[in-house]
């Protein structure tokens, strides 16, 4: 079961990402290469299959979803330990 993403988490991640979308996405590319290269490769493979898909938009959506799930998972672990 996936962890619950709260409105507060969404606000935090969106604020972080939309201050400078280009820089945030670029940082996430580097982070994902180190943290979870298989997921990063999967994200990049999506756009290769259709020329009409905007790679940057796909990556942004995928990185936002990954970051939200990561934050929710971390929060869930803290809640369980408390």
pTM for the full model?
Answer: 0.84
pLDDT digits (tens, 9 = 90+) for 9-58: 999 999 999 999 999 999 999 999 999 999 989 988 886 777 788 888 88
Residue 2 lies in a domain: no
Q: Does residue 36 fall inside a structural domain?
A: yes
Instruction: Name the CA radius of gyration of the chain, rounded.
Output: 14
Residue 21 lies inside a defined structural domain of this protein: yes
Q: Would residue 1 count as lying in a domain?
A: no
The H helix count followed by the E strand count for the chain is: 4, 0
Is 11 contained in some domain?
A: yes
Number of domains in the chain: 1
In a domain, 76, yes or no: yes
Q: Is residue 49 part of a domain?
A: yes
Boundaries of domain holding 26: 7-81
């Amino acid at each position: 079961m996936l962890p619950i993403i709260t409105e507060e988490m969404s606000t935090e991640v969106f604020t972080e990402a939309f201050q400078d979308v280009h820089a945030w996405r670029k940082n996430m590319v580097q982070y994902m290469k180190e943290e979870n290269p298989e997921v990063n490769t999967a994200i990049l493979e999506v756009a290769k299959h259709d020329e009409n898909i905007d790679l940057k938009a796909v990556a942004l959506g995928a990185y936002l979803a990954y970051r939200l799930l990561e934050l929710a998972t971390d929060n869930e672990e803290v809640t369980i330990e408390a």
